[in-house]
Amino acid sequence: MKYRLKIFLQVLCACAALAAVGYASSFLAKIAAPQRAEKKFGGRAAAFAVFGGYREAIASFVWLKAYLAWERGDYQKCLSNIELCVELDPENIVFWNLGASIIAFDTPHWLFGGGKAPQSVQKSIRRRQGALALEFLDRGLVANPKSRRLKLDKAIIYEKVFADKNAALQWHKAACDEGAPIYVVRDCANMLEECGRAREALDLLLSRAGSFDKSHPSYEFYLGHIKRLENKINSQKNMLAL
């Protein structure tokens, strides 16, 4: 009994000493890894976390499994593997981007059961899966707050699944930050135009025109877009004048 008590006290003393060391050196841990609070492992991903740098490679293999399940239209396996992928490697935009598209646009067809379901049921399923995809993308944006691709994905889902152009416009605007490439600016301008804000669309295109490479082939289309909007606004003015 005395021996066990001695062992217990020794373990207790060792734990107390380690806790003291841990407390005293915790400020060093905060300096060494300041952004660590953003990273969280889920249940299954924690088992793979010990593999350290191999996590990304494992995530790629898991994605292949998800892809095989996608080919068979296996809803549960496909989604659970996608979840594992993003838990293992939350910084990979491709997993979030493709995963959200699968959830929003592919899984409803698997759930319709060959298109026999009534239109109202199909619409309800589409909206439910769309909401799931938006929630999925929200988590992706927490891990990758600067990703334009994920913001555009949200815009596309709002537009195509929910037919909510104003919400889509908000996400197009969020993606259209300083330094956004030509196609993102044009997409945002298109959405502004669809929302009946052609003047704002033109202002946006004109304000960003100076920041693009003028020798790039897509710049011609950009100028064409400006021209078309100017003509549209002018013809609207002329109509009002008449």
155: tokens are 């815009």
- Is position 18 an interface residue for another protein (rule: CB under 8 A)? yes
- Is position 219 an interface residue for another protein (rule: CB under 8 A)? no
- Is position 29 an interface residue for another protein (rule: CB under 8 A)? yes
| x/- track of binding to another protein for residues 96-135 (CB under 8 A) | ----------------------------------------
- Is position 94 an interface residue for another protein (rule: CB under 8 A)? yes
Contact present, 219 and 186 (Cβ < 8 Å) = no
Cβ nearer to another protein, comparing 64 with 223: 64
- Is position 52 an interface residue for another protein (rule: CB under 8 A)? yes
64: tokens are 């292949």
- Tell which one of 46, 142, 206, 223 touches another protein (CB under 8 A): 46
If binding means CB under 8 A, how many residues of this protein chain bind another protein?
Answer: 45
The residue length of the chain stands at 242
Task: Show Cβ contacts of residue 50 under 8 Å, excluding neighbours closer than 6 positions.
Answer: none
Alpha helices in the chain (DSSP H): 2-32, 43-49, 55-72, 75-88, 93-101, 107-112, 119-143, 148-160, 165-175, 182-194, 198-208, 217-241
Question: What residues make contact with another protein under the rule CB under 8 A?
Answer: 10-11, 14-15, 17-26, 28-29, 31-36, 39-41, 46, 49-57, 60-61, 63-64, 89, 92-95, 181
